């Protein structure tokens, strides 16, 4: 089967800092891949390249088997790649409804092109149904500004936006950072739902327990390279922590003589 995303030999320097030195990564169709690694390993840089925030110095990217160049967030979205960054990439002063569409609002009189007016009726109906679907039961409406929401609720809105546009690949950059227990559970449930609906997910996390709960495969980065990968099925916490540290934590200590 063709990979939804395939990165090969990606290099990126920031001045004298070598952030990526030949990283390779693939994500299969309907696969949940967890990307792990110590601080500074290059995970965010790799994700920024896939989401069009920065361009690589060298290397190739293929989406569904076709070589692509991703020069902007718009390019990434057009290829079916939605990224939910740590700060959730929402516009806090805009309403939930506007945030659910950001730049892709339904319009009346579409033949007017960029001058076509937003269809607020359709936007509010779609937003109301999404709010129900993500389980936000508080008395919120499509018009509520995003800055009135909790961190978890904002995360849910960002995830629903990715789901609604039927992204081929959803990238979550440390999505459970700063979230409470219930909200974290919600995010992990979403990952499961996305997989069930055939989306592929790339999940950046430091939480080994989350990897065990939702990922199919884990990929470990160290100093700008992918240094290990393996299927999650059958792996335990010590196996994964050992892979991240590059040490076999499961080795039996010999008994004292």
Ligand X SMILES: Nc1ncnc2c1ncn2[C@@H]1O[C@H](COP(=O)(O)OP(=O)(O)OP(=O)(O)O)[C@@H](O)[C@H]1O
| Chain residues that interact with ligand X, rule: CB under 6 A | 14, 17, 19, 37, 39-45
When the beta carbons of 47 and 235 are compared against ligand X, the nearer one is 47
Q: Exposure string (b/e) for 52-89, b if CB count within 10 Å is 16 or more? A: bbeebeebebbbeeeebebeebeebbebbbbbbbeebb
Nearer to ligand X, 35 or 149 (CB): 35
Find, among 87, 92, 90, 112, the residue nearest to 102 by Cα.
90
Look up residue 244 and give its two tokens.
């991240």
Are 64 and 58 contacting, i.e. CB atoms less than 8 angstroms apart? no
Q: What whole-number distance in Å separates Cα of residue 226 and Cα of residue 249?
A: 20
Bridge partner list, 154? none
CB of 158: closest distance to ligand X in angstroms? Answer: 18
CB of 181 to ligand X, least distance (A): 22
Question: Which CB sits closer to ligand X, 36 or 77?
Answer: 36
CB 230 to ligand X: min, Å: 19
* Nearer residue to ligand X within complex by CB, 19 or 123: 19
Query: CB 86 → ligand X: shortest distance, Å?
Result: 8
């Amino acid at each position: 089967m063709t990979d939804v995303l395939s990165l090969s030999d990606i290099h990126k320097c920031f001045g004298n800092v070598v952030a990526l030195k030949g990283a390779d990564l693939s994500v299969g169709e309907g696969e949940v891949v967890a990307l792990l690694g110590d601080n500074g390993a290059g995970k965010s840089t790799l994700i920024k390249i896939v989401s069009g925030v920065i361009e690589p110095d060298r290397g190739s990217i293929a989406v569904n088997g076709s070589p692509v160049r991703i020069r902007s967030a718009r390019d990434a979205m057009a290829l079916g790649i939605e990224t939910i960054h740590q700060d959730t990439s929402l516009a806090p002063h805009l309403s939930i409804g506007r945030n659910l569409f950001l730049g892709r609002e339904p319009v009346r009189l579409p033949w007017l092109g960029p001058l076509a007016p937003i269809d607020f009726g359709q936007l509010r109906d779609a937003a109301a149904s999404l709010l129900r679907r993500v389980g936000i039961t508080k008395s919120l409406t499509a018009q509520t500004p995003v800055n009135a929401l909790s961190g978890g609720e904002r995360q849910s809105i960002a995830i629903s936006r990715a789901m609604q546009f039927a992204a081929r690949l959803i990238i979550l950059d440390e999505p459970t950072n700063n979230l409470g227990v219930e909200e974290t559970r919600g995010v992990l449930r979403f990952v499961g739902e996305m997989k069930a609906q055939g989306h592929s997910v790339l999940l950046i996390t430091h939480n080994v327990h989350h990897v065990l709960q939702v990922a199919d495969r884990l990929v470990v980065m160290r100093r700008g390279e992918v240094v290990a990968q393996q299927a999650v099925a059958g792996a335990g916490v010590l196996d994964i922590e050992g892979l991240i540290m590059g040490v076999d934590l499961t080795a039996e200590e010999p008994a004292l003589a």
